[in-house]
């Protein structure tokens, strides 16, 4: 008589697809990393204000060329498709020399030159541990983390596939960090 195995076979885990992203409730942000669907609520108001304010602080000089060099597309919550991974950073930026015209689709397949993630208690671990390696793998050159609770900004640059610190600011300190060092703005402008 054979002994019964103590191990039970687990059913295969179904990999998330873009259909899962499309079927997510409208009040949730849906992303896929390494085949797993991640959903989280839309950003809290302080988080949203910080992201919007940062978009205005760099969008005016870098997208529109008002008081700065221009030459960028700065997009709020762009949907990024990297193979099976679908990510939605708080902000993304593309140099126009790499992306002369935005795509007609509802998403981008070309990795941004710069991404900013707003850290919140509900997304911090996901942004730092799951999304950051995908950005490195896809060749995003600059990554910023803005923490509205701590009132900080940390900037990183990609070199040899690794993130290295490129600068930081806190409170109301002036910000002049790559890739937007041509213009300085007060970090305090992001906080309500």
| pLDDT tens for each residue of 150-172 | 999 999 999 999 999 999 999 99
More confident residue, 175 or 46: 175
In a domain, 96, yes or no: yes
Number of domains in the chain: 1
3-state helix, strand, coil in the chain (%, to 5): 20, 30, 45
Candidate from 39-43, 59-63, 133-137 with smallest mean pLDDT: 39-43
Q: Rounded to the nearest 10 degrees, how much is the dihedral formed by the CA atoms of 45, 50, 53, 57? A: -170
Give the domain extent around 109. 43-190
In a domain, 27, yes or no: no
Please give the backbone phi and psi of residue 128, each rounded to the nearest 5 degrees, phi first. -80, -40
In a domain, 85, yes or no: yes
Q: Which helix (H) or strand (E) holds 153?
A: strand 152-159
Q: Which of the four pLDDT bands, split at 50, 70 and 90, describes residue 1?
A: very low
Q: Rounded to the nearest 10 degrees, how much is the dihedral formed by the CA atoms of 68, 70, 76, 79? A: -150
Retrieve residue 7's tokens.
């191990």
Convert the pLDDT of each residue in 45-96 to its tens digit.
Answer: 999 999 999 999 999 999 999 999 999 999 999 999 999 999 999 999 999 9
**CATH number of the domain that 107 lies in?**
3.90.1570.10
Q: What is the mean pLDDT of the chain?
A: 93
pLDDT over 90 at 132, yes or no: yes
Q: Which of the four pLDDT bands, split at 50, 70 and 90, describes residue 43?
A: confident
Q: Rounded to the nearest 10 degrees, how much is the dihedral formed by the CA atoms of 118, 124, 130, 134? A: 20
Q: What is the mean pLDDT of residues 5-31?
A: 81
In a domain, 24, yes or no: no
Q: Which helix (H) or strand (E) holds 92?
A: strand 91-95
In a domain, 143, yes or no: yes
pLDDT over 50 at 4, yes or no: no
Please give the backbone phi and psi of residue 173, each rounded to the nearest 5 degrees, phi first. -65, 155
Retrieve residue 161's tokens.
């596939």
pLDDT score for 13: 73
- C-beta neighbour count of 82 within 10 angstroms: 19
In a domain, 77, yes or no: yes
């Amino acid at each position: 008589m054979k002994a019964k195995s103590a191990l039970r076979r687990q059913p295969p885990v179904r990999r998330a697809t873009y259909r899962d992203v499309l079927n997510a409730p409208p009040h949730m942000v849906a992303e896929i990393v390494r085949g797993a669907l991640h959903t989280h609520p839309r950003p809290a108001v302080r988080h949203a204000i910080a992201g919007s304010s940062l978009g205005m602080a760099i969008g005016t000089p870098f997208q529109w060329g008002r008081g700065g060099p221009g030459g960028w597309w700065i997009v709020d919550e762009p949907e990024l498709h990297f193979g099976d991974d679908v990510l939605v950073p708080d902000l993304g930026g593309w140099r126009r020399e790499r992306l002369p015209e935005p795509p007609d689709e509802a998403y981008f397949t070309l990795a941004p030159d710069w991404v900013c993630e707003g850290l919140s208690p509900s997304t911090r671990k996901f942004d730092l541990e799951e999304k950051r390696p995908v950005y490195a793998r896809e060749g995003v050159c600059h990554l910023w983390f803005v923490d509205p609770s701590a009132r900080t900004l940390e900037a990183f640059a990609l070199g040899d596939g690794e993130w290295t610190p490129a600068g930081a600011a806190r409170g109301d300190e002036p910000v002049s960090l790559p890739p937007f060092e041509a213009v300085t703005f007060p970090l305090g402008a992001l906080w309500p």
